[in-house]
């Protein structure tokens, strides 16, 4: 998609004013960096970075059968979720492939809020809406993606930075907010939501706010740069941060043909919870055994692996790199790869980097221990 046809978030002008390098991403024109990717990566690990993630999609699900409906289209078990709780999950097709990975928040007994990937907004809502209409359940789904902006605040200083936006009462509640949970707040006199979630491996918060408040909120956060080291962060560092933390990226590490078991998120897949779309395919996959699985690897030889590069083991094709790059915090380079299920931690393979076979070794995932809790 060309820059002329790309969508723009409510913070587009603010990024341009800071001379961010803008690139098309998932149909949107987004900042890839403001300074160097390595400097921005370090800011998030050491202090606090803010990200414009307003391109993400949001759907609200309401009704007496809302939980029952969502149970039928997602892999995790929503019955375990308290009001205010959040849950990582995914929607599958009948083949067990991933339509998208999501976070579902329970705002009330009959009210749920879904955050989905930017590039899948239209696809996801269309699928949810059509499935809902076929269900004959008492539930309504509303696409609120154009209503909300979203700003992620990530890093060791994220609590005081996020809290500075709110009243003393909300600050106290925010301090006690458990990991993955969400809470309502008042922001510049309007209703907003704050979730203790993120995509960096650091403690962080994601603020869902009316689009009209995006720029004033962004600027208010940046005013804390002197006290808390706040800097704006682009997509480049977002990718290196999530890669070190072993977080999956839809379209790279998973797609309609990759199951959650193959992707390594079996921990979020509750096959025994009861029927859901794609369950039968997963049961069959478990019975037969996986033929491929996601692994994390680190390069032994010099070279930077990238998405789509071939993995070679024992002289034969054994999979491909799904995400790759440098590891700024832990050093070196590597990534994640979908490989033959027989390969295990400690095994070496080769990555075909522009025609040259470079050695790599499978390591424990993630390579960077998350500090989210």
**Residue 133 region by backbone torsions, left for phi larger than 0, else alpha for psi between -120 and 50, else beta:** alpha
Residue range 70-123, pLDDT digits in tens: 999 999 999 999 999 999 999 999 999 999 999 999 999 999 999 999 999 999
Query: Mapping DSSP to helix (H, G, I), strand (E, B) and coil, where does residue 272 land?
Result: helix
Residue range 248-299, pLDDT digits in tens: 999 999 999 999 999 999 999 999 999 999 999 999 999 999 999 999 999 9
Q: Is residue 353 domain-shared with residue 326, that is, in the same domain?
A: yes
Q: Is residue 44 domain-shared with residue 151, that is, in the same domain?
A: yes
CATH of the domain at 317: 2.40.30.110
Q: Is residue 154 domain-shared with residue 18, that is, in the same domain?
A: yes
**pLDDT confidence of residue 134:** 95
pLDDT band at 212 (very low <50, low <70, confident <90, very high): very high
Residue range 50-79, pLDDT digits in tens: 999 999 999 999 999 999 999 999 999 999
Q: Is residue 157 domain-shared with residue 179, that is, in the same domain?
A: yes
Least confident of 4-8, 251-255, 270-274, 351-355: 4-8
**Residue 3 confidence (pLDDT) above 70:** no
Last residue of a domain, one of 130, 156, 179: 130
**pLDDT confidence of residue 4:** 53
Q: Which domain holds residue 345?
A: 291-368
Residue at 254 is within a domain: no
Q: At what angle do helices 66-73 and 121-135 cross, to 10 degrees?
A: 120
Alpha helices in the chain (DSSP H): 12-17, 37-46, 66-73, 121-135, 158-163, 168-175, 214-222, 225-228, 235-244, 260-263, 279-288
Tokens of 262: 């193959």
CA atoms within 13 A on the CB side of 140: 5
**pLDDT confidence of residue 5:** 74
Q: What are the two backbone dihedrals, phi and then psi, of residue 105, each rounded to the nearest 5 degrees?
A: -110, 140
Average pLDDT over residues 119-136: 96
Q: Is residue 210 domain-shared with residue 334, that is, in the same domain?
A: no
Q: Is residue 114 domain-shared with residue 190, that is, in the same domain?
A: no
Strand order in the sheet with 98-108: 86-92, 98-108, 111-116, 57-62, 140-143
Number of H helices, E strands in the chain: 11, 20
Cα–Cα distances (Å) from 253 to 159, 222, 256, 259, 337, in that order, read 30, 33, 11, 10, 8
**Residue 1 confidence (pLDDT) above 80:** no
Q: Is residue 189 domain-shared with residue 329, that is, in the same domain?
A: no
| Nearest C-alpha neighbor of 166 from the set 213, 225, 107 | 213
**pLDDT confidence of residue 285:** 97
**Cβ pair 78, 71 in contact under 8 A:** yes
**Residue 131 confidence (pLDDT) above 70:** yes
Residue range 222-237, pLDDT digits in tens: 999 999 999 999 999 9
pLDDT over 70, % of the chain: 99
**Cβ pair 361, 346 in contact under 8 A:** yes
pLDDT over 90, % of the chain: 97
**pLDDT confidence of residue 36:** 96
Average pLDDT over residues 3-22: 91
Domain count, the chain: 3
């Amino acid at each position: 998609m060309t820059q002329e046809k790309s969508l723009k978030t409510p913070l587009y002008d603010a990024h341009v004013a800071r001379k961010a390098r803008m690139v098309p991403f998932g149909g949107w024109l987004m900042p890839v960096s403001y300074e160097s990717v390595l400097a921005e990566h370090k800011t998030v690990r050491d202090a606090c970075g803010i990200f414009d993630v307003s391109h993400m999609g949001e759907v609200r699900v309401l009704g007496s059968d809302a939980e029952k409906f969502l149970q039928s289209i997602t892999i995790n078990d929503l019955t375990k979720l308290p009001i205010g709780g959040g849950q990582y999950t995914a929607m599958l097709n009948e083949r067990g492939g991933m339509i998208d990975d999501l976070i579902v928040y329970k705002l009330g007994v009959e009210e749920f809020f879904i955050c989905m990937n930017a590039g899948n907004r239209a696809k996801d809502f269309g699928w949810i809406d059509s499935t809902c209409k076929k269900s004959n359940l008492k539930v309504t789904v509303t696409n609120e993606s154009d209503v909300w902006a979203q700003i992620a605040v990530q890093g060791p200083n994220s609590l005081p930075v996020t809290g500075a936006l709110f009243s003393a009462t909300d600050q106290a509640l925010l301090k006690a907010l458990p990991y993955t949970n969400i809470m309502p707040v008042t922001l510049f006199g309007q209703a907003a939501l704050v979730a203790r979630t993120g995509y960096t491996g650091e403690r962080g918060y994601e603020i869902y706010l009316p689009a009209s408040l995006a720029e004033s909120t962004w600027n208010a956060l940046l005013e804390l740069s002197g006290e808390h080291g706040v800097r704006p962060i682009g997509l480049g560092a977002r990718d290196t941060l999530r890669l070190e933390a072993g977080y999956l990226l839809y379209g790279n590490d998973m797609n309609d043909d990759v199951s959650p078991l193959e992707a390594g998120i079996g921990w979020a897949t509750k096959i025994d919870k009861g029927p859901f779309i794609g369950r039968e395919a997963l049961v069959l996959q478990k019975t037969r055994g996986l033929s491929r699985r996601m692994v994390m690897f680190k390069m032994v030889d010099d070279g930077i692996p990238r998405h789509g590069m071939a993995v070679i083991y024992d002289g034969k094709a054994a999979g491909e790199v799904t995400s790759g790059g440098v590891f700024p915090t832990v050093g070196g380079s590597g990534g994640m790869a979908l490989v033959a299920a027989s390969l295990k931690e400690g095994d070496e393979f080769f990555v075909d980097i522009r025609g040259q076979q470079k050695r790599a070794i499978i390591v424990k995932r993630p390579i960077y221990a998350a500090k989210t809790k």
